[in-house]
Amino acid sequence: MHVMKRALLGGLLLALSAGLAWAGTDRGPTLEALKAVTAEKYPGADAVVVLDETRVNVEESGLSHVERTQLVKVLTEKGAAQYATLRFDYDPASSWAEVRGLTVFRENGTVEEVPAGRVSDLPQPQFMIYWGPRMKVASVPKLNPGDAVEIRTYSKGFVIAYLGDGGPEDERYIPPMRGHFYDVVLFQGDAPIVKKTYTVRLPRDKPLKARVYNGELFGETSFEKDALVYRWWKENVPAVKREPRMVEDTDALPKVVLATVPDWPEKSRWFFHVNEDADTFAFTDEIKAKADEITRGLKTDEEKRLALLAWTARQIRYSGISMGKGEGYTLHPGTMDFHDRAGVCKDIAGMLITLFRAAGFKNTYPAMTMAGARVEDIPADQFNHCVVATEIAPNEYKLYDPTWCPFSREVWSSAEKPQNYVIGSPRGEVLMETPPAPPSDNFVKVVSRGTLNEKGDLSAVITVTAGAYSETNLVWAVVNSPAADVRYGFEQAVARISPAARLTDLSYTDPVDVTHPFRITLKVEVPGYALVTPKGMVFGPPLSRNLLEGRRLTDFVYAVKGKERTYDIFLRATREFVYEDRIALPKGYGRLVSYDIPAKVDGPAAAFEAEARMDDGAFLLKERLSVKKKIVPAAEYDNFRKAVESWKTLAQAFAAVEKGGRP
């Protein structure tokens, strides 16, 4: 879910966001540094970043000049392929980018300067967002293991489209919050780093607020006559060892976050004024008439807001078309959204704000948030999403996310609980956080009522209901796919019961009607499902096979690998799966001989429990898995792993029942 482009630092693709040009022409230190990097010293590494130096010079206006040098030695053919083509992204509306030099150092000691003609300026591939970004693409002469490439770049401005498109040449590159500067810099990546430094020089009247997160860095501050100079560095940094479903790099790797903005309230007021001064949320008579039409006959304020939310979520399609001047932090005018029926998240939010105000909810404002990662308490730009906040009582806001809500009964995604956000209001707001969602909010309840005949044939009716995040994903699976694909998807689901399973009927309630819970009903026939023996039957309870397992609904399954973790786990939401499986058996069956159920698991991150018994001639299984946290700390991985593994282990178990034990 992408809403606003932002300048993220770190990684080769964003090399233009910061830098320091190589000083001098003496290659001696470079060659010596390269000799010290060997495959024996860095086993398993395809390439090593020998040097990564960044220097940023900030003007009084906030305009930043960024020079960067990266020196990378490749150790394998795979590493050579990775650096055969280099890409540097930028947006010509707000930034300038140059590749100032490429040098190849051969293992035999020869040095090759790459001609400028091997650098091309091309449009970036675009999908759904068409803001005119471009990229510099450099073709590097064939590298072999042991060779190295030095990359020298220069940039100014920002890699997102901010305000300003006229005046002096550099005016467009000045950040929208004029006079201020911010940055977020990572000090670890997918290749080992011998040394990485970041230096920023600012006017003396622009002191930085800065903090180091996720580890330790060396740092120093020095004073010049007219400037403050801040420097951070780290040496001998190992490559990141990626783990399944680990949190975002900004939440895991060593970083420094810095900003000249004194506090969040000032950032909040700026965000308010930059949109209000542009008259972004002014509404016409036509928009007012539409708001009246949508809310006609509704009695409560919340009913009216829900109706306006539903209209906006469904009528403004997600498609980013540039408005030219003001693109980026300024939301598209409501009049433009109403006419074009298109925009990214910030514009969809802007349409809802306009309608809310037209309906009389005047204290409604845009809010910035960061979908998928946390926002640190340093007022730097750490946002990628825009939502709506309306004041429902003095100093009490309610959040609405129209980008999430086209076919959802939620007004704010449970996938963003907890989540940091900053509201753009006239009085100025602090950094706030939504409360976490208990797993019971995002429940999935599956109930099966089945019958086994004497031949072992199974017939069952399975109903699925869900809440919040889980329900929304089930709805999306229906509304975003052709009917044939929907049926095929559920045929694949029931095939988890048995390869012989047949989906004889599929029905579901209206997925577009968000005023009622969504329900799916499956009718299933499985010939020869139970193994019939002279003494009884053996079968696997259908629901224990976890019919709905998939990368969105059960993403937690894919986070379990190995017995230990270094990094926290990022899940889409908390979850609770509740299964109730009842199978009526042929007359005379009443004794459960065996069924291995894993022991109960409970802890801070997850819980699992199950019970099975005979109940008036039927086999009854009740099962519950609770994933209690959206972000699971690495320290709680053992509890999380045991609960998920128990859930999966039960899917392999078989129940044995015999005649007897019933009057």
Q: Which tens digit of pLDDT belongs to each residue from 229-253?
A: 999 999 999 999 999 999 999 999 9
Q: Is 219 strand, coil or helix? A: strand
Averaged pLDDT for residues 515-522 = 96
> Reading across the β-sheet that carries 364-369, which strands appear in turn?
396-400, 385-393, 364-369, 420-423, 432-433
pLDDT tens across 338-376, in order?
Answer: 999 998 999 999 999 999 999 999 999 999 999 999 999
- pLDDT reading at 100 higher than 90: yes
Sign of the CA dihedral with 377 first, then 380, 381, and 382 last:
negative
Residue-level pLDDT at 92: 85
pLDDT tens digits, residue range 169-220? Answer: 567 777 888 899 999 999 999 999 999 999 999 999 999 999 999 999 999 9
Q: Could you tell me if 426 and 456 lie in one domain?
A: no
Provide mean pLDDT across the span 530-552: 94
Whether 444 has a pLDDT exceeding 60, the answer reads yes
Q: Environment class of residue 658 by beta-carbon count within 10 Å: exposed (0-12), middle (13-18) or buried (19+)?
A: middle
From start to end of 500-654, where are the E strands? 502-508, 519-526, 531-532, 536-539, 569-570, 575-584, 589-594, 601-602, 606-614, 618-627, 631-632
Residue 154 has pLDDT above 80, yes or no: yes
Q: Are 67 and 198 in contact (CB under 8 A)?
A: no
- Residue 371 counted as domain residue: yes
d(CA 603, CA 647): 15
Domain membership of residue 5 (yes or no) is no
Tally the domains of the chain.
3
pLDDT at 329 over 90: no
Name the domain boundary from 433, 462, 484.
433
pTM (2 d.p.) = 0.90
Q: Residue 7 domain-assigned?
A: no
- pLDDT exceeds 60 at position 14: no
Summarised one tens digit per residue, pLDDT across range 419-443 is: 999 999 999 999 999 999 999 999 9
Q: The CATH number of the domain where 582 resides is what? A: 2.60.120.1130
CA dist., res. 75 & res. 79, Å (int): 6
Residue 86 CA to residue 541 CA, distance in Å, equals: 54
Beta-carbon contacts of 480 under 8 Å, excluding residues fewer than 6 positions away, are none
Residues 394 and 312 in one domain: yes
pLDDT more than 70, % of the chain: 92
Q: What is d(CA 663, CA 588) in angstroms, rounded to the nearest whole number?
A: 8
162 with 242, same domain: the answer is yes
> Are residue 280 and residue 391 in the same domain, yes or no?
yes
Q: In this structure, are 145 and 290 located in the same domain?
A: no
pLDDT at position 12 over 70: no
- How many residues comprise the chain? 663
Tokens of 459: 């017939």
Note the pLDDT of residue 21. Answer: 33
Q: Say how far residue 96 (Cα) sits from the centre of its chain.
A: 28
Q: Could you identify the residue written with the tokens 């420094």?
A: 256
User: 319: pLDDT confidence band, cut at 50, 70 and 90?
Assistant: confident
Q: Is 36 inside a domain boundary?
A: yes
My answer on whether 332 and 462 are in the same domain is no
Identify the band that residue 18 occupies on the pLDDT scale cut at 50, 70 and 90: very low
Which domain-ending residue is among 207, 226, 260?
Answer: 260
Asked whether residue 574 falls in the same domain as residue 425, the answer is no
Residues 252 and 271 in one domain: no
Q: Is residue 2 part of a domain?
A: no
Q: What is the pLDDT of residue 23?
A: 36
* Banded model confidence at residue 594, pLDDT cuts 50, 70, 90: very high
Question: Which of 3-12, 275-284, 392-401, 631-640 shows the lowest per-residue confidence on average (mean pLDDT)?
Answer: 3-12
The side-by-side arrangement of strands in the sheet containing 618-627 is: 502-508, 519-526, 458-466, 443-452, 575-584, 618-627, 606-614, 601-602
Q: How many CB atoms lie within 10 A of CB 575?
A: 28
135 plus 255 within the same structural domain: yes
309 shares its domain with 232: no
Tokens of 579: 């299964």
> Mean pLDDT over residues 26-32, rounded?
72
Residue 25: pLDDT above 60? no
116-139 tens-digit pLDDT:
889 999 999 988 888 888 999 999
Mean pLDDT of 309-323: 88
Domain boundary among 402, 433, 464: 433
Establish if 3 belongs to a structural domain. Answer: no
- Residue 298: give its domain's CATH number: 3.10.620.30
Instruction: Kindly report the average pLDDT of the chain as a whole number.
Output: 91
pLDDT digits (tens, 9 = 90+) for 466-513: 999 999 999 999 998 898 999 999 999 999 999 999 999 999 999 999
Show the domain range for 605: 440-659
Q: What pLDDT is stored for residue 15 in this prediction?
A: 36
pLDDT band at 31 (very low <50, low <70, confident <90, very high): confident
Same domain for 223 and 112?
yes
Which helix (H) or strand (E) is 111 found in, with range?
strand 111-113
Read off the pLDDT of each residue in 553-569 and give the average, rounded to a whole number.
97
Domain of residue 23, CATH code = 2.60.40.3140
d(CA 596, CA 399): 46
Q: Judge whether 547 and 503 are in contact, CB under 8 Å.
A: no
For residues 42 and 157, which has the higher predicted lDDT (pLDDT)? 42
Query: Cα separation of 380 and 143, whole Å?
Result: 39
Residues 308, 351 share a domain: yes
